[in-house]
Structure 1
Amino acid sequence: MSNNTGNTIVAILVGAAIGAGVGILFAPDKGSKTREKLKDGFDDAKHNLQDKFHDVSEKLVGRAKDLISKEDIDGNYQNIVSSLSHKTEDVISFLENKLAELKLKNAKFQK
């Protein structure tokens, strides 16, 4: 979720909570009922914000887990080690071949 979308959702929820509070304040009810309605409205807004925050947090954690999976890191490490091991064997074989060639050339000079 982009930062703008998150800000928009928060702004809508805060606006709704403020609008509900102002509407309740101007309603012709007893003070105790108005306070109870205000408390209920703020509780609802708080729960909505907590739910949205929880949803966004879960999405972010899910994406982070997808991006950085321990198994992927371990697998990549093993692939790199295996590849380097094969490359090392190739280099050793190449050097052994060159050494054998040099020994042959050296043997020809010694005759």
Structure 2
Amino acid sequence: MARYDEYDDDRVVVIDRDNGTSGIGTFLLGLAIGAGAALLFAPASGAETRQRLQDEARKAGRKMKDMTDEFGEKVADSVQKTRFQFDEQVGRARDAVSSRVQAVGDAVSAGRDAATHARADLERAVADSKRAYADSRRAYREHGRRHGPDDTSAPDDMVASSGEESTGASSEG
């Protein structure tokens, strides 16, 4: 006959699986086991036991309702808090985008203004240059009329601007 301590060396493997469930299933199992034990060990009559079971079932139902209500409130609070945080972040993002759009708009407006002023300055400079060129051509023509086509001396205003004194005499004389 085999002795008890010969089988004592067997290894026992226990696998515990946690499916991520809450304690509600465990609670219900414990409730059922407790109710069954109360029936077996109850020193009361059948009617009293049935009444006690109904009372305990009502208490368990209220307790379950309270637990589900509390869980629902926690979920609702969590959803509301998350929604508030999301709305707050969206608002900040909108403000940031709006300020950047405003800055870009201001920069574009300033660029347009600068381009408009630069164009006006350039057009003024071109007009002044054209006017000076036309004036110099007119003065050259007038000089040619006064002194004849053979006179190669520069007009008086051109000589004065080059730093030479005008004598009024031609260079051939």
TM over 0.5: yes
Unaligned runs of 5+ in 1: none
Q: What does the per-residue CA deviation read over 1:43-101, in whole Å, with 9 as the maximum and x for residues that have no partner?
A: 12111211111111111111111111297378447625742552353343354156337
C-alpha contact (below 8 Å) 1:25/1:34 kept by paired residues: yes
Structure 1 or 2: larger helix share? 1
Q: Higher relative CO (CA 8 A, sep ≥ 6), structure 1 or 2?
A: 1
Task: State the identity as a percent.
Answer: 18
Structural mapping, 1:11-90, within 5 Å:
11-26=25-40, 27-69=42-84, 72=88, 75-76=91-92, 79-80=95-96, 82-83=98-99, 86-90=102-106
RMSD: 3.4
Q: Distance in 1 between matches of 2:61 and 2:110?
A: 69
| Structure 2 unmatched ranges of 5 or more | 1-18, 130-173
Aligned length: 107
Measured after TM superposition, the shift of residue 35 of structure 1 is 0.8
Which of structures 1 and 2 has the bigger CA Rg? 2
Tell me the TM-score normalised to structure 1 length. 0.67
The one-letter code sitting in structure 2 at the alignment partner of 1:53 is T
Distance 1:18 1:109 in 2: 102
Q: In structure 1, what is the Cα distance between the partners aligned to 2:61 and 2:121?
A: 85
How far apart, in 2, do the equivalents of 1:75 and 1:8 lie?
36
